[in-house]
Amino acid sequence: MRQRTLTEAGFELYRNPARREQFLDEMEKLIPWRDLCKVIKRFYPKPEGACRPPIGLERMLRIHFPQHWFNLSGPAVEGTLYDSRAMRRFLCIGPGR
């Protein structure tokens, strides 16, 4: 069980979800992440030698989809991670993850 942050424990419990949050929650339910990863895994780079290991396949897919859904550049996706709790939750980034 992960520890809840102060924002999750306070007034955030009583707010209405934003459209982006509703959309991401729905996509989380609809997209078969394991099946997609199985199909793409053989084409995804494997770490070899002393180079930096690639980011996990599922995380990259989770970054790629919202980037196209919301028409975001790479730096813009990074910026939304700082601003949007819903985006961090969708990308499985944050405390206890």
d(CA 97, CA 94) in angstroms, rounded, equals 6
Q: How many domains does the chain have?
A: 1
| 36 occurs within a structural domain | yes
d(CA 51, CA 12) in angstroms, rounded, equals 42
d(CA 88, CA 71) in angstroms, rounded, equals 17
pLDDT at 55: 83
| 77 occurs within a structural domain | yes
pLDDT at 30: 94
| 6 occurs within a structural domain | no
Closest CA to 20 of 65, 61, 75: 65
Query: 63 Cβ partners below 8 Å, 6+ apart?
Result: 77, 91
| 95 occurs within a structural domain | no
For residues 45-56, average pLDDT: 78
For 55, phi then psi, to 5°, come to -70, 150
Across 33-37, 58-62, 91-95, least confident range: 91-95
Q: How confident is the model at residue 37 (pLDDT cuts 50, 70, 90)?
A: very high
| 5 occurs within a structural domain | no
Tell me which residue range forms the domain holding 38: 19-46+53-90
pLDDT digits (tens, 9 = 90+) for 62-96: 999 999 999 999 899 989 888 888 898 898 887 65
